[in-house]
């Protein structure tokens, strides 16, 4: 996932790019971009990507790291059942 983000930055500088994935890869991306080690403990923590969540990764000019903002969408039990 970090390779996708870097490739998108190179190919589309200054643009908005959308990537879609499953929870595990998005969670790994969140942890990696935050600068923390990608460990089982980190992946099972509060950064796990919820069902139907959106994560915004923003690179500001001159910043060492991107800003990672998870936006959690609340999905009801009925909606979860309908998605299966």
Q: In whole angstroms, give the CA distance from residue 77 to residue 40.
A: 27
pLDDT at position 24, please? 92
pLDDT at position 21, please? 92
Q: Sign of torsion, CA 28 2 15 21? A: negative
- Would you list the domain boundaries of the chain? 2-83
pLDDT at position 84, please? 74
pTM tops 0.75, yes or no: no
Question: What tens digit of pLDDT does each residue of 11-55 get?
Answer: 998 899 999 999 899 999 999 998 899 999 888 877 788 877 889
Q: In whole angstroms, give the CA distance from residue 46 to residue 83.
A: 23
């Amino acid at each position: 996932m970090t390779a996708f983000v870097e490739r998108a930055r190179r190919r589309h500088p200054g643009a908005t790019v959308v990537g879609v994935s499953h929870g595990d890869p998005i969670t790994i991306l969140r942890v990696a971009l935050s600068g923390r080690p990608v460990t089982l403990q980190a992946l099972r923590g509060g950064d796990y990507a919820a069902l139907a969540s959106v994560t915004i990764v923003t690179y500001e000019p001159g910043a060492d790291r991107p800003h990672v903002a998870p936006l959690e969408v609340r999905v009801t039990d009925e909606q979860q059942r309908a998605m299966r």
